[in-house]
Amino acid sequence: MAGGRLQVAVLISGRGSNLQALIDACAKADFPAEIVRVISNEADAGGLDKAAEAGIPTAVVPHRDYPDRPAFEAELDKEIRAAGTELIALAGFMRLLTEGFVDAWRDRLINIHPSLLPAFKGLHTHERAIDAGVRFSGCTVHYVRPAMDEGPIIVQAAVPILADDDADSLGGRVLAQEHLIYPLALRLIGEGKVRVDGERAIVDEVTDQPTGATINPSPPKV
C-alpha cells in the first residue's frame, strides 16, 4: 500500500456510475484506498471522463483488437500491474473474465451485482425479480470467482419491491444502494476487516447505523 492506502484499479465499460461513488469515497482524507488507474474496454465509456476530471490516470484496452480473451486479458493484466494495483474493482465491466485471470487475482478482485446473490445472477435482474414475485431485491458486493456472479459475499443491501414497481423504478432504488455499499466494501477491505474463509467472506468490527435500506454489514458510524 502506498502511504497505507490500498491501491485500486477500477475496470469499466460504460457511464461509470459506481466508479463515481468510489471516486467520491476515495477523495476523503481518511479513506483507506485510492484509485490508481481506471481501465475500460470501450474508448467511449463515459466513466473515463469522470476519472480524468478527478485526475486519475486512465487506459483503454479495446477487446475487439485482440484475437481471443486470453490475449485481451494479458494486455489488461499488464495495464493493471503497471499501476501498482493491489485490488481490482469491477464497476460495470461488461466482459466475462477467464478462469486464469480470476485465479491470478483471487481474493483481490471484487464486483458489484444488482441482485441479492445467489438469486438472479446474470442480466435483467430487476425484471426477473419482479416477475418472480419476490418481496425484496437489492445488490451485492462479492469477491469474483470463475463462475458468473459467484464468490464470497462482502456486503449486501436489500430494498422492498413495491406493488407498482417496474424495472426502472426498482433499478433506481437499487442503484442508490449500490453507491453506498461499494464504497463501504472497499473501506472494509482497505481497513483489513475482511478475510476469506473458504467461500465465505468474514467481516469484523462493523458498527450498526440506521440507513434507508437493510445493509449487512452496516456502515460504520461517522
Contact between 47 and 14 (Cβ < 8 Å): yes
Question: How many angstroms separate the Cα of 205 from the Cα of each of 139, 189, 194?
Answer: 22, 12, 10
126, three cell numbers: 430487476
- Nearby residues of 113 by Cβ (< 8 Å), 6 or more positions away: 121, 125, 139, 140, 142, 149
- Report helix, strand or coil for 2: strand
Q: How far apart are CA 70 and CA 85, in angstroms?
A: 20
- Report helix, strand or coil for 178: helix
59, three cell numbers: 487506459
> Active-site residue 113, yes or no?
yes
Q: How far apart are CA 166 and CA 146, in angstroms?
A: 31
- Report helix, strand or coil for 33: strand
Which of 63, 113, 142, 179 is labelled catalytic? 113
Positions marked catalytic: 113
